[in-house]
Structure 1
Amino acid sequence: MFINVVKKSKIIAQSILIGFTLSLGSCGIVDKHVEWETVEPDSYPVLKAVGYAPIASQHGDSESTKLIMAMKASKLDAYRELAEQVYGQRIEGNQALSSLVVESEMLKASVEGVIRGAEVVKAYPVGDDTYVTELSLDMKQVYALYLTTTKPRRVKDVKYY
């Protein structure tokens, strides 16, 4: 009789375990198919930036070398301005007081980012000592470059089975 009780207890325990496993499995696992579609903006702005550089303060032995260095510096300044427009500018400030009198004050600005697809619109000297570079960044072209590396998506449809 004792053996029958043990066998029945094992059968009941196994039945409960199987029932519990099946109930967990059916609640947590659902087969589904998700259909995605790419997301495209409604409009694309064209950003413009201007960079300036002094010619006389550039390092170089001749005027032509200083002019070339000013060309490069003004182009980098224009790229910095484009990066500020695309990514924003990080501002950090610090102020020290002693007896409610300002002892020191510091303000630091920085920008970081990658600009791809910018075009030089115009590069020219202004007056005797300044070089200017104008850049243009068509965000439609930037979006096309972005799509070559990453495909932004959103859920189009979900089907459950």
Structure 2
Amino acid sequence: MTLSPRILLIAMGAILLAGCQNLNQQGSTGECTSVAPCNGNTVGSFGTTANTYNTPTTQNGAVNANNTIAVIKQEPIVVTATGYAALTTNKRLSKSQARIMTLRSSMLDAYRNLSERVYGLKIDGSSSLSNMVIQNDELRTYVDAYLVGAKVVSQREHEDGTFETVVEMALQENFRQCVTSSQGINTDPNCQVNPGYQAINVESSRPTTNFYSID
């Protein structure tokens, strides 16, 4: 074998060795190239091997970090209320009619108490004076609410003829947010429930579920 082919083989072997050595090296810019492919293994300065992972980036080059939100499962709020009604003494009603009317009255009273616990009540008062002496002092309280999902739990009759009704309602998931909202339940549109009925021929456009006066 002559000298020229031997030199050519030595040169080719040196090129192959250099290429194999560059496979375990990364480019100076940290990018994946054909000379320095990203195979996940880089050689540290102390001879230790570490695994590197590509960080997802957006088109603008910013790091796309995943935001993790901890969701705490909360138990539903179940509000209960009790209503009472005395047996009516109307002589024009039979005994069965009186019992049914009393039973319905206790149910309406329970719904009123439930509305007071959930939405609160409004109190209006007026006083009249004559010669610095109060002549008339009147307080009026009323509840204006639309209950969704309320149900009767139990109804029973006591020995004295009065009826007792227990109702309950599971509050919506956003009730806590509505209570702590700066806008409040009455002004926040996300906390309002539009009634599925339309009032016809009424004096007030806002239907009142219950009204009573205290003299």
Deviation, structure 1 residue 57? 2.9
Measured after TM superposition, the shift of residue 137 of structure 1 is 1.0
Q: Helix, strand or coil for the counterpart of 2:93?
A: coil
Amino acid at match of 2:108: L
Report the equivalent of 2:98.
66
What CA deviation, in whole Å up to 9, does each residue of 1:96-124 have, x standing for no partner?
11221111111110110101111211100
Secondary structure (helix, strand or coil) at the match of 2:138 reads: strand
Equivalences for residues 35-114 of structure 1 within 5 A:
42=74, 44-57=76-89, 61-114=93-146
What CA distance in whole angstroms lies between the structure 2 residues aligned with 1:59 and 1:78? 26
Instruction: Assess, with a 3 A threshold, how the Cα gap between structure 1 residues 151 and 98 changes in structure 2: closer, same or farther.
Output: closer
Q: Which has the larger radius of gyration?
A: 2
> Residue 83 of structure 1 aligns to which amino acid in structure 2?
S
Specify every segment of 5 or more residues in structure 1 that has no aligned partner in the other structure, as ranges.
Answer: 1-39, 145-149, 153-161
Long gaps (5+) in structure 2 = 1-71, 175-188, 192-215
Partner secondary structure for residue 116 of structure 2:
helix
Taking structure 2 as the reference length, what is the TM-score of the superposition? 0.44
Bigger RCO of structures 1 and 2 (CA < 8 A, at least 6 apart):
1
Matched, 1:122 2:154: yes
Which SS does the other structure have where 2:148 is aligned?
coil
Q: Whose helix fraction is larger, Structure 1's or Structure 2's?
A: 1
Question: RMSD in angstroms over aligned alpha carbons?
Answer: 2.8
Name the SS of the counterpart of 2:115 in structure 1: helix
2:169 matched residue in structure 1: 137
Contact persistence 1:56–1:129 (CA under 8 A): no
Q: Could you say what secondary structure the match of 2:96 adopts?
A: helix
Identify the structure with the greater strand proportion. 1
Identity rate, percent: 32
Report the TM-score when normalising by structure 1: 0.58
The residue type equivalent to 1:89 in the other structure is: L
